[in-house]
Structure 1
């Protein structure tokens, strides 16, 4: 071979190696990322390089006989670090739990709070990695460490920390109230009324009728007369209609869901709780002539009404004072809001009111009758994560699910009835043209959660019916606990189906929540097309 032939061969070699398309087509080098690398040798057929295919060199792929596998030890061990951290925290807390058994309550409560928050942070990260809501991780960590299970935190310590749980509840409820605007409520009032009616009337009627029909076998009403059993069924139906604006707000904040679907569900949950407060008072009044003499304390009906009206009134006053103070130009708005939440907690305890309703009314006043509404909403976003951590961790530690061991068939029956009735209640609401199809189909998933006001009403029911109120409260608290755990998962699924979940979790696009109305407003969640429920002012 002469110099010309050698030059032609080298030229073919250069062309063959330099052709990226040929390399990609022949898959000369196989790389599966971090999992494996398959080395392959590439040769040149000099005859083809000299004479074939218009002077272009062709590659001969020689597969490697062996496969080199890189084991991603870091990826394997990373999940174990979180489990190890939780185990180490539990061991340390178990040791300190035994050592400090005779210490002052304040010191033990402070130690318990620090342990719970550290463990909840780890649990929230684990929950995020397995693609479930963080607040569910907080709840489960609190429940696991609380008196109901591992008993790393004592009941008296939780009681001492209750004011912090109430403050966290108030801060979240303040954010919920600040999301409600009169302009939006007026724009979607027909759909909101229709959705609230379906979400309250259907569970109330279905649960009441079924509970009354099976009441001869219901453990808490077996030995009661049929009049008393009807009162039990009415109370169960009333509490089945309650919802949780706090969980709704927390999920909206965690998933950064500010679209019309999420805002509509928030409005429905607030309306549900207000309607259930009125309905509970009416049920107690109706039960008086039905039940046996002395079976109901009618004064509790007045207490329930006063608690509802008093909480809303005090909340408006708190909102007015807070707005006036913010108008003075205070810069540390977030710190002031935290102080207001602590103050709300103490006011509620002193006056025997509901801190969530007080803060809800205060937030609503600030959003609609104060110039500081937007400023408050912005600052509450920064303070929301610590509030979620404190409230849901302490709430999880206080969960009482022991009744499930004896009453689980009845709990599952009542929960199933509530879920099915919510489903068909919103489908009924969707028959109105002002209710978007996505709300009618998926909205029931966002109304599963219960907390706060439902627990307060369960305590009032115990006081109203002294003979069987304790058993009734035990059953209702077990139901609320299950709803509180399952609700965040269902709400997240509702947001995903509606296309409003953050972090790229949507499946149908933002316009699904608008009933098929597209445009920039639909994509950003800042407006609702014709027939929508929520419209931004």
Structure 2
């Protein structure tokens, strides 16, 4: 760093101090958390998924809405936009714990017991959504790089909403067991598809660099293998250490240090933080001789983090853009083609695996929810396409717009599936 850069940083620091930037950011955090409490109260009362409430709260506080308020000065509007953008690290932290949670749901014992049947369903539903969305986007005249990005993100399924419905109604049976296994593995497959698709899209969108077998296949493969190896190794060391600790404070700090540290090292080594933390969670689930005893603490600790993550995700939505007819068409085509790909692919995989008739018929209806990893991947697109912000903004808006739909329809379709399968016992 040269002298001129140091002087510039010093001037920026002085300017931030004089204008009390940290205080203004604290005001915004306090305001959003208070409103998040009201969102929880309302969503619980009317039985709406909390995540939907968070996203809509974020939309109400989006920069595009704040900029239209006539009683705010231009200076306050600029400060608000700057402050919201400065919270990107919250997304990184939340995504790290989301990936860890996904990995902790993957049990080697369950994977072995279900074997070929689960593998076929997962591959066909994930690849089916990927191919159908990509093809639909191309058919509607979208650029190849955008179609490829949206197709790869479409392969992801959110486990949280589905699991909550199954627990709420005490669902038990073949469909329930298969569904739990599929949603546990699905995001791992989606992350692998995205890791191959995104570099290709970036090269095509930027027009810089040549597409070769090296940067289209071997480099993403090396990133995936490296992230898997590092994540499992770090998770193994961490979980062996944590099960020897009795003190609750030490346990929680060990877990937090492991997850955040894994993300930091992964970024430094140019590996995927999502795959790395997913493998850390996988190691915690499968290599511990006894329960580490941190699940409840982590769930409690991450409540405000996830709330801020989804609220801030909502603030990224550009209202003026999503009200355009062209945007609505793209979003609806994406949603419809993803649903057909998921439901059709899952049913085809179950048929080829000779699964029970009720699994063939209803398995796809439990795979529609998409918030979580899909938003995480959209954040990744925003970060990696920093030189092409319009691409990241469009992908993010499409994902949040369609997620708001699937987070309402998804739980309802899951309930319908297990009800028709006769597996509800409440």
Does TM, scored on the shorter chain, surpass 0.5? Answer: yes
Report the Cα distance in structure 2 between the residues aligned to 1:419 and 1:157, rounded to whole angstroms: 36
Counterpart of 2:99 in structure 1 is: 173
Q: Aligned pair 1:137/2:63, yes or no? A: no
1:500-529 deviation digits (Å, cap 9, x = unpaired): xxxxxxx569x527xxxxxxxxx59xxxxx
Q: Give the Å deviation of 1:474.
A: 4.0
Report the Cα distance in structure 2 between the residues aligned to 1:145 and 1:201, rounded to whole angstroms: 36
Counterpart of 1:476 in structure 2 is: 395
1:224-275 deviation digits (Å, cap 9, x = unpaired): xxxxx5x65444433332x14xx42366358745856566445434544433
SS state of the match for residue 492, structure 1?
helix
1:151-198 deviation digits (Å, cap 9, x = unpaired): 688343234333233223322332332222100011112222122122
| Counterpart selection for 1:458 from 368, 381, 387 | 381
Tell me the number of residue pairs that the alignment of Structure 1 and Structure 2 aligns.
Answer: 389
Q: Give the Å deviation of 1:126.
A: 0.9
Q: Give the Å deviation of 1:113.
A: 1.7
Report the Cα distance in structure 2 between the residues aligned to 1:114 and 1:251, rounded to whole angstroms: 31
Q: Give the Å deviation of 1:444.
A: 3.4
**Higher RCO structure, 1 or 2 (CA under 8 Å, sep 6+):** 2
Report the Cα distance in structure 2 between the residues aligned to 1:480 and 1:206, rounded to whole angstroms: 16
Report the Cα distance in structure 1 between the residues aligned to 2:38 and 2:20, rounded to whole angstroms: 28
Q: What RMSD over aligned residues (CA atoms) do the two structures have, in Å?
A: 3.9
Report the Cα distance in structure 2 between the residues aligned to 1:454 and 1:112, rounded to whole angstroms: 25
SS state of the match for residue 403, structure 1?
helix
Shift in alpha-carbon separation, 1:173–1:494, aligned structure 2, 3 A = farther
Aligned partners of 2:316 and 2:397 also within 8 Å = no
> What does residue range 127-276 of structure 1 map to in structure 2 within 5 Å?
127-150=43-66, 154-215=80-141, 218=142, 221=143, 229=144, 233-241=147-155, 243-244=156-157, 247-249=158-160, 252=163, 256=167, 264-265=178-179, 267-269=181-183, 271-276=185-190
Shift in alpha-carbon separation, 1:266–1:336, aligned structure 2, 3 A = farther
Moved more, 155-164 or 319-328: 155-164
Counterpart of 1:405 in structure 2 is: 323
Q: Give the Å deviation of 1:343.
A: 3.4
Counterpart of 1:447 in structure 2 is: 368
Report the Cα distance in structure 1 between the residues aligned to 2:304 and 2:203, rounded to whole angstroms: 48
Q: Aligned pair 1:429/2:355, yes or no? A: no
1:343-398 deviation digits (Å, cap 9, x = unpaired): 34544554454443332211110110122446244544444534432332233333
Report the Cα distance in structure 2 between the residues aligned to 1:161 and 1:188, rounded to whole angstroms: 42
Unaligned runs of 5+ in 1: 1-99, 222-228, 500-506, 514-522, 525-537
Report the Cα distance in structure 2 between the residues aligned to 1:423 and 1:286, rounded to whole angstroms: 27
Report the Cα distance in structure 2 between the residues aligned to 1:143 and 1:239, rounded to whole angstroms: 22
State the TM-score, normalizing by the size of structure 1: 0.61
**Higher radius of gyration, 1 or 2:** 1
| Counterpart selection for 2:406 from 487, 496, 507 | 487
Counterpart of 2:21 in structure 1 is: 105
Q: Aligned pair 1:314/2:233, yes or no? A: no
Moved more, 450-459 or 366-375: 450-459
Q: Aligned pair 1:326/2:247, yes or no? A: no
Aligned partners of 1:273 and 1:453 also within 8 Å = no
Aligned partners of 2:203 and 2:210 also within 8 Å = no
Counterpart of 2:255 in structure 1 is: 337
| Counterpart selection for 1:391 from 309, 319, 339 | 309
Q: Give the Å deviation of 1:399.
A: 3.8
Report the Cα distance in structure 2 between the residues aligned to 1:179 and 1:277, rounded to whole angstroms: 15
Aligned partners of 1:443 and 1:494 also within 8 Å = no
Q: Give the Å deviation of 1:328.
A: 2.6
Shift in alpha-carbon separation, 1:344–1:440, aligned structure 2, 3 A = farther
